[in-house]
Amino acid sequence: MNTNKKIYIAGHRGMVGSAIWRTLSAKGYDNLIGRTSAELDLKNQQAVIDFLTTEKPEIIIDAAAKVGGILANNDFPYQFLMENMQIQNNLISSALNLGVEKFIFLGSSCIYPKLAPQPLKEEYLLTDALEPTNEWYAIAKISGVKTCEAIRKQFGKDYVSLMPTNLYGTHDNFDLTSSHVLPAMIRKFHEAKLNNNATVSLWGSGTPMREFLFVDDMAQAVMFALENRLPEHLYNVGTGEDLTIKNLAETIQKVIDHKGTIEWDSTKPDGTPRKLMDISKMHSLGWKHKVALEEGIRKTYKWFLENSESYKAIKL
């Protein structure tokens, strides 16, 4: 891959987009472009067309999305469905019409059915019902996957979808009303530690199994897809290892050195019982994660302590 190729990273200020930008820059890619949401509203079709027509990127990486946890998905179903479809449809259709040869679409493991066999294989897509607590976001992302597949099938372009497991890391969202489970736990344990090691109350039973991938490893997977023409349209990206939410909480509690107790609020939903990705396809091509969970949590907590703005929800 020519490192001078012009690459547009949508969502370059978010956790995933910024990690991709850092990773590509470190590899010598020096023709990266990005726009904040204030500079370019990706929900505005004409604005996206005008921007891409002017800038003429050769490659587009779509890391832009409206994201959030169970609470946010439950409270704002219309926005999670419509805004995500608007963002990706504007980018994908404009890319096709303007002759962009490579498009990397980033999704989520929530595209797979709630009760699909474990670990989750790419071919399980659309075989059963989704998890109700995040189906709106999932349906939007499924439509993006199928759109890229259709373009690949009909026009032969290198449009590929990468489905990461639960991501975390530096530049994460630590807002308690919209964040995902791992960063929310970091903030809760940190604040409880400052409050005389107060008791930490967490949602659910603690029994669901989850897999977590450090965001810099996800960025490496994107670079792998950038530098290789992957033979299929859809790939899972993860560690292939999971743990219970209870074990996750105890690991975070250890890293933060919180000495209080943990209470589990069983009146709150657990979500999907288990979500472990089958990542054999990416492994067979030569990509594998490098950062272990506790190491990644330590890196994330360090960044959290150094960045006061991380207490606010990040808008992509």
Render pLDDT for 158-173 as a digit per residue (tens, 0 to 9).
999 999 999 999 999 8
Q: Is residue 165 part of a domain?
A: yes
Q: Is residue 316 part of a domain?
A: no
CA-to-CA distance for 69 and 261, rounded, in angstroms? Answer: 24
Q: What is the pLDDT of residues 111-130, one digit of tens each?
A: 999 889 999 999 999 999 99
Q: Is the pLDDT of residue 42 over 80?
A: yes
Number of other residues whose CB lies within 10 A of the CB of residue 229: 8
Helices 77-97 + 45-55 axis angle, to 10? 30
Q: Is the pLDDT of residue 310 over 60?
A: no
Q: Is residue 2 part of a domain?
A: no
Q: Is residue 16 part of a domain?
A: yes
User: Which structural domain, as residue segments, surrounds residue 176?
Assistant: 7-311
Q: Is the pLDDT of residue 284 over 80?
A: yes
Dihedral of the alpha carbons of 307, 310, 315, 316, in degrees to the nearest 10? 60
Q: Residue 173's pLDDT is what?
A: 85
Residue 302, phi then psi, degrees to nearest 5: -60, -45
Q: Which of 66, 264, 301 is nearest to 182 (CA)?
A: 301
Q: Is residue 99 part of a domain?
A: yes
pTM of the model: 0.92
Residue 206 annotated as part of some ligand binding site: no
Q: Residue 64's pLDDT is what?
A: 96
Residue 180 annotated as part of some ligand binding site: yes
Residue 164 annotated as part of some ligand binding site: yes
Catalytic: 137?
A: yes
Q: Residue 128's pLDDT is what?
A: 97
Q: Residue 311's pLDDT is what?
A: 60
Q: Residue 68's pLDDT is what?
A: 73
Residue 185 annotated as part of some ligand binding site: no
Q: What is the pLDDT of residues 66-93, one digit of tens each?
A: 877 677 788 899 999 999 999 999 999 9
- Please give the tally of structural domains in the chain: 1
Q: What is the pLDDT of residues 196-207, one digit of tens each?
A: 999 999 999 999
Q: Residue 269's pLDDT is what?
A: 83
CB 4 within 8 A of CB 12: no
Q: Is the pLDDT of residue 312 over 80?
A: no
Catalytic residue among 8, 29, 112, 137: 137
Q: Residue 313's pLDDT is what?
A: 44
Residue 109 annotated as part of some ligand binding site: yes
Q: Is residue 1 part of a domain?
A: no
Residue 203 annotated as part of some ligand binding site: yes
* CATH code of the domain containing 112: 3.40.50.720
In angstroms, the Cα distances linking 131 to 136, 140, 228 are 10, 14, 33
Strand partners, 244: 209
CB 166 within 8 A of CB 182: yes
Q: Is the pLDDT of residue 274 over 90?
A: no
Q: Is residue 120 part of a domain?
A: yes
In angstroms, the Cα distances linking 259 to 163, 198, 255, 298, 303 are 36, 8, 11, 17, 21
Q: Is residue 229 part of a domain?
A: yes
Buried b (16+ CB within 10 A) or exposed e, 67-82: bbbbbbbeebbeebbe
- What does pLDDT average to over the chain? 94
